[in-house]
Amino acid sequence: MNTSSISQPQGPAPAADDGPVVAFRNVSIAFDGPPVLQDVSFSVAPGETRILLGPAGVGKSVLLKLTNGLLRPDRGSIQLFGEEISHMPEEMLFPLRTRAGMVFQEGALFDSLTVRDNVAYQLIQERVPDGEIDSRVRDALRFVELEETFGLYPASLSGGMRRRVAIARALIRQPELLLYDSPTGGLDPVTSTTIIELIVKERDVYHTPSLMVTYRLQDAFIMCTHRFDPEQGRMVSLPKGETDPNTTFLMLEEGRLIFDGSLHELIHSQNQFVREFLD
């Protein structure tokens, strides 16, 4: 991909009047050793898609798990939907988490449940009538183009299909925030593009703010330089030089946030680590 042809972002900027959906302030965490994250600060605005880049083992997944309170920081403050969650009791976090969808690295589907029950997991807990569950599950599976897997078990699905079911599960309650943990990790290029196309489709159809972790630069660039065309029903390239204005980047190096900005700023960054990562 020719990165030098990408210019400054054009089009509408994220709404500035609403508060951020996620806000990290000087967050640090360590596990029996050196810090995994140090003084990390950033925010996700409504309608914004933030792509967290970095090589394996720099704390990307840890940062994602801190976002919805699956992990607690040692220091600093984390706000989710305007509420401080860094010291919030677990019982109070559960209702807050239902407002955010999360796609795990390997899908994390419940292997003893069918695809239908996996996707409908939250709805079943909320005792939604069976008829409504079936209809909403079929809608979610249609979105990820896997309607035929309705009654199957996760063991009979391929890696890419599991990720797509995980996306359907994250989308079924129309969340206010989406967290993607390396959704294309370990997949072949064709399947990766299918997954990225789904994420772009979600971004452009529902405009849900999201935070996506990835080490694959090509996925990040595709997200920035493509849009979903509802008429053609597929992802298409933006005109040459244009990028999605609401898709921006973060980069971690050994637990420190070393970059926060647009694609244009990323490819013109003079930071040594960023340059090496891009090269």
| Residues at the site binding another protein, with contacts judged by CB under 8 A | 65, 68, 70, 90-91, 94-95, 97-98, 100, 102, 104-106, 108-111, 121-122, 125, 169, 179
- Of 91 and 231, which CB lies nearer to another protein in the complex structure? 91
- Nearer to another protein among residue 108 and residue 238 (C-beta): 108
Task: Return the number of the residue (100 or 274) whose C-beta is nearest another protein.
Answer: 100
Question: Least CB distance from residue 122 to another protein, whole Å?
Answer: 5
Least distance from C-beta 111 to another protein, angstroms? Answer: 7
Question: Looking at residue 162, what DSSP letter applies?
Answer: H
Residue whose CB is less far from another protein, 36 or 224: 36
Place of tokens 């890696």: 159
Whose Cβ is closer to another protein: residue 80's or residue 274's?
Answer: 80
Number of other residues whose CB lies within 10 A of the CB of residue 77 = 15
Contacts of 123 (CB under 8 A, 6+ apart): 132, 133, 136, 137, 172, 173
Strands 100-103 and 177-181: parallel
In the complex with another protein, the residue whose CB is nearer, 109 or 235, is: 109
CB of 246 to another protein, least distance (A): 24
Cβ at position 110, least distance to another protein in Å: 6
Residue 160 or 245: the one with the smaller Cβ distance to another protein is 160
Of the candidates 47, 35, 39, the one whose C-alpha atom is nearest the C-alpha of residue 77 is: 39
Shortest separation between residue 86's beta carbon and another protein, angstroms = 16
Q: Which is nearer to another protein, 92 or 205 (CB)?
A: 92
Q: From the CB of residue 230, how many other CB atoms can be counted at a distance below 10 Å?
A: 10
Q: Taking the complex as a whole, how short is the minimal distance between the CB of residue 278 and another protein, in angstroms? A: 30
